[in-house]
Structure 1
Amino acid sequence: MKQLKIQLLLFFISFTIFAQSETDYSRKLNHSVSGEKVYLDKDVDIKPKLIYGENGMYRFMSRNFKFPKNEALVPKIICSFIVETDGTITDIKILNNIPENFSKEAIRVMIKFDEPWYPAVKDNKQVRCQYILPIIIDRI
């Protein structure tokens, strides 16, 4: 019984740490590509989304991502970009500390992905919005 309580406690602590780290990423960013305001996804009425859904993007990434040779496997890449009012993405950044080869490859694949997005909406107006995309790597 005591061991079960310890396991549950460790689970909740790790879950809390994970949730806090995700929140921190949304505060870290400083996108300043142009003078127009960039909203956080929590500050818009309708969040940006892919026209054909995220599953297509993940399939595209799994087909096109080339694992850097002689590098330790990275379990997660946190990618950030701006969804523009015309549905394109700009200012792609990698937020977590991973080897440079993984960062370059993730950015290369994101640039190559050209499926349009529905832009975010704030006060019935399309706006630029920061989007954070966690990419989980499960290489078998």
Structure 2
Amino acid sequence: MKITLLYILLMLSFVSFGQKKYKTVKKKINLIHKEVYQIEKKSKLKEGFYYYIDTSKNDTLISGNYKDDKKVGLWKYYGRGKFPYLEYDFSTNKLISNRYRITKDSTYIKKDDKYILDKVDSPQIHIGFKNQAEYDLAKSLTIPKSVIKNGTPTVFIYSFVISKDGNLKNIKVEQSIDKEYDKKAIKTIKELDYNWVPALKDGEAVDSKSFLIIDFSNGQNLSKNDRTKAYLWQVKMVYYGIITKSQSF
């Protein structure tokens, strides 16, 4: 009896010693967003659940799991409402469901050395909650002094490529009046380090090009955002004599 009890205690000690210990981390991202996730105490690597939360509404915007600091399994991304806006399986690298309004459309894809507008099976999209990229752009961008001094509506245009491997690259200035601002804008675009689903043409992933239009206005002649184009992103910046900022998606 004593030998059996000793054996059980030894086994329990062995199991306890081999178990990993975890810690829950709550990290504030900005004024309204925070991350809640689990890490393994010893390695400090993300291990287990992950949530990205809108604290102003107490809504979960992203949910998923990590294994050895890598996203695994099904991740869910939300917009408004309780149903996922987008679902992606990181274990198989497959888009499971997509409630984007654009599922099949034309986009700019690479043919030879040029990008041409062509029909695709599905356009390039970023893996994130609804309007996440546009939100991150708007909160990071400012209004340059040259635009205020000019005093008339001004449009800056930048382009970037989403490679067939799902990487953001080749950021270029297409239209601008301020070289210093271009440096800041390019840095902001580089920080859109999300997972991307490349455009598909005839079942194959292809390089595609997207355009970011930053529309600076003094409150007059406000244009409407065109949400029908998969390759077109728009951020509106409005000023009224002094520098202020607003966003519209």
Give your verdict on TM over 0.5. Answer: yes
Q: Please say if residues 214 and 237 of structure 2, whose CA atoms lie closer than 8 Å, have aligned partners that are also in contact.
A: no
Amino acid at match of 2:209: Q
Shift of 1:134: 1.7
1:5-44 pair list within 5 angstroms: 39-44=115-120
Cα offsets for 1:98-128 (capped at 9, x unmatched): 2102211110100112112210001100111
Matched residue SS, 1:138: strand
Q: How far apart are the structure 2 equivalents of 1:54 and 1:135?
A: 19
Q: Please say if residues 38 and 129 of structure 1, whose CA atoms lie closer than 8 Å, have aligned partners that are also in contact.
A: no
Unaligned runs of 5+ in 2: 1-107, 216-235, 239-243, 245-249
* Residue 213 of structure 2 is aligned to residue 138 of structure 1: no
Query: Which residue does the alignment assign to 1:10?
Result: none
Amino acid at match of 1:46: S
Cα offsets for 1:38-85 (capped at 9, x unmatched): 6435343321111225611111112222444x4224743211111012
Amino acid at match of 1:61: L
Query: Which residue does the alignment assign to 2:184?
Result: 105
Q: Please say if residues 157 and 176 of structure 2, whose CA atoms lie closer than 8 Å, have aligned partners that are also in contact.
A: no
Query: Which residue does the alignment assign to 2:146?
Result: 71
Q: How far apart are the structure 2 equivalents of 1:117 and 1:75?
A: 30
TM normalised by structure 1 equals 0.62
How many aligned positions are there?
107
Among 175, 180, 184, the residue aligned to 1:96: 175
Matched residue SS, 1:71: helix
Unaligned runs of 5+ in 1: 1-25
Shift of the 72–63 alpha-carbon distance from structure 1 to 2, 3 Å rule, reads same
Runs of 4+ aligned structure 1 residues displaced above 3 Å come to 36-41
Q: How far apart are the structure 1 equivalents of 2:134 and 2:237?
A: 12
Among 146, 150, 166, the residue aligned to 1:87: 166
Among 106, 116, 121, the residue aligned to 1:45: 121
Higher relative contact order (CA 8 A, sep 6+): 1
Amino acid at match of 1:64: S
Which has a greater percent of helix? 1
Query: Which residue does the alignment assign to 1:12?
Result: none
Q: How far apart are the structure 2 equivalents of 1:38 and 1:116?
A: 24
Larger Rg: 2
Moved more, 80-89 or 43-52: 43-52
Q: How far apart are the structure 2 equivalents of 1:130 and 1:100?
A: 22
